[in-house]
Chains A and B, each alone.
Chain A
Amino acid sequence: MLNIENLHCQVETQEGEEKPILKGLSLNVPAGEVHAIMGPNGSGKSTLSYVLTGRDGYEVTQGSMVFEGADLSELEPEERAAAGLYLSFQYPVEIPGVPTITFLKEALNAQRTARGEDEVTAPEFMKLIREKAKQLGVSMDMLKRPVNVGFSGGEKKRMEILQALVLEPKFMILDETDSGLDIDALKTVSEGVNALRAPERGMLVITHYQRLLDHITPDVVHIMANGKIVKSGGPELAKELEAEGYDKYLGEAA
């Protein structure tokens, strides 16, 4: 479903210099599977999530990223979204003045229009969002508030998952979804993610800690260091990392 081959990516720093971050990363995530990427800070995990979704300033210099046969580097961010790529942000962005409900309806209908599907009507949308909000324990009152404004870290992450439940993407990238969550919020969010697991959907779970993987069991765990995957294995690899740390992989990658 998602095929990344020898991907090199550089990022423009604040000083205006080009800094290589991804240095030959290869990864295949078939439909129906959940892959976890674990790695120390600075290994390029977030860069991977941004280059896949097309953020400005993340430039592919070599290699390829193909999603269901389409070359992602040819698509604008909104086209990638309409193709089914969804990023749950590590730091969800506040948008003052735009109510969450308006934002989500706008996003859903923009994606549907881009795919040549009919827009959902206002009543249909309200029914949909009520149902999904209930599933995640989000109040309608919260949905009327501007996107992420004044929400706690946990609430923001919950909203990211709610948005995914409404948009029903084909592929989800969860970037440090566990950061800022207490144990109850972690459970709720994980349940939301698990509800989205499906044979036709792929997921990439990016995390620093093993904690999240106790709740969302991955099919494959990859260890990332210095811009590439240095080891892949089953869920037991996450446990090993938790016990032994990243040190030995940092040496291998250098």
Chain B
Amino acid sequence: MTATLTHTPAEQALIDALEGATGWRAQLREATRREGLPTRRHELWKWSDLRRAANDVTAPGRITVTGLDTPITDGARIELCVAATAGASAADAELVIPAGAKVTLIERYSAEAGALANWHLGITLEAGARLDRVIIATDTGDSAFIASAEIVLAPEAHLHQRALDFGGRLSRIETHVTHPGEGAEVDLGGVYLLDQGRHADSTSVVHHTGPGGVTKQLVKGAAAAKGHGVFQGKFMVDRAAQQTDARMTHRAMMLDDRAEIDAKPELEIYADDVQCAHGNALGALDETALFYMRQRGIPAVRARALLIESFLAEPLDAIADETLREDLKAQLRTRLEALS
């Protein structure tokens, strides 16, 4: 017996928007039709209530993706702009990084107020490929923007991912990685900085399926009053994935007592000869350092910004492309100075 689900206007709009869709978008349509949008009752969404975040969405919208025509060859720099209008929409794409190729992928997300945007990438890294993926989710302010990726690595492939997220009504960057070990390496990093009322969710699962895999993850965040940060990180290590070396760290700063940060670092390990660790630390701004800077004449607002910037910038320092790195750090700085 199945109970009939009454769809919210947002759910109905998404279902309508995906009429006749195929592939991943058809799956999304079916899942939405059957279960509705995820709420806190879903374990994987317990801190990010998408149904609520999309409660003002009533009509289908449109999502456009530019840059997908760039040939994926060695040395390629692919710049995708994913832009959503108000209303419910979804788009997806498949990328294959050829064996031995070194590719940079930049994704810039933007959304109008009142958007419920779903963006999905399926990425395959062939043997020895290297992908530097940089996600810039700095312009999704008053929308619900869900970006997910399913990334499968071949042996000797390297995935290096960095995300900068200023949050939205709900911004979620979800990354699922299949890691075969055998010389493959994964480095996932991210930064979120949340002003009042913003919500950012970093969710990732790295599934180690073969021996000797190396995985690093460093996510740092800061939330102002009524900002809400979510970190869910999971490392799974199969019995076959002996000698996996996987380290996960999430560190966040609450800039106000009324900020909320929820973190769930998880290890699920079935192999017995592995090195896996996770660390999670929440703190506040160092008041002693703040006084020290002010004693030297730096105004309080500027001193705060400098301290937060120096705390947050670490994951971004590992972006190989200098122009990109400096661009992201500049965006972070500008944002910090505007922080309420």
Contact = CB atoms under 8 A, between A and B. Distances in A.
Chains A and B belong together in one complex? yes
B310 A107 contact: no
A167 B289 contact: no
A114 B293 contact: no
Interface in A62-108: 76-78, 80-82, 86-87, 89, 92-98, 103-104, 106-108
A79 to B, nearest CB: 9
A89 B286 CA distance: 16
Given A78-B300, A81-B294, A103-B306, 14 more contacts: A56-B287, A56-B291, A77-B291, A77-B295, A81-B295, A93-B288, A93-B289, A95-B307, A97-B310, A97-B311, A106-B302, A110-B297, A110-B298, A114-B299
A226 interface: no
A81 B297 contact: yes
B313 A97 contact: yes
Interface residues of B, number: 23
Given A56-B287, A81-B294, A97 B314 contact: yes
Interface string B48-66: 0000000000000000000
B306 A77 contact: no
B330 to A, nearest CB: 15
Contacts of B302: 106, 110
Contacts of B307: 95, 98
Contact of B295 (A53, A97, A114, A146): A53
Main DSSP-derived SS at the B contact region: helix
A106 B306 contact: yes
A107 B292 CA distance: 11
B306 A98 contact: yes
B309 interface: yes
Nearest to A80: B295
B296 interface: yes
A54 B300 CA distance: 12
Interface of A: 53-56, 76-78, 80-82, 86-87, 89, 92-98, 103-104, 106-108, 110-111, 114, 146, 163, 167
B292 A167 contact: no
Interface centre among A76, A95, A108, A167 (most CB of B within 10 A): A95
B289 A78 contact: no
Contacts of A110: 297-299, 302
15 contacts: A54-B295, A56-B287, A77-B295, A78-B297, A78-B298, A78-B300, A80-B295, A81-B296, A89-B295, A93-B292, A97-B309, A103-B296, A107-B298, A110-B298, A167-B296
A95 B289 contact: yes
B297 A82 contact: yes
B304 to A, nearest CB: 12
A78 B294 contact: yes
A78 B298 CA distance: 6
Contacts of A106: 298, 302, 306
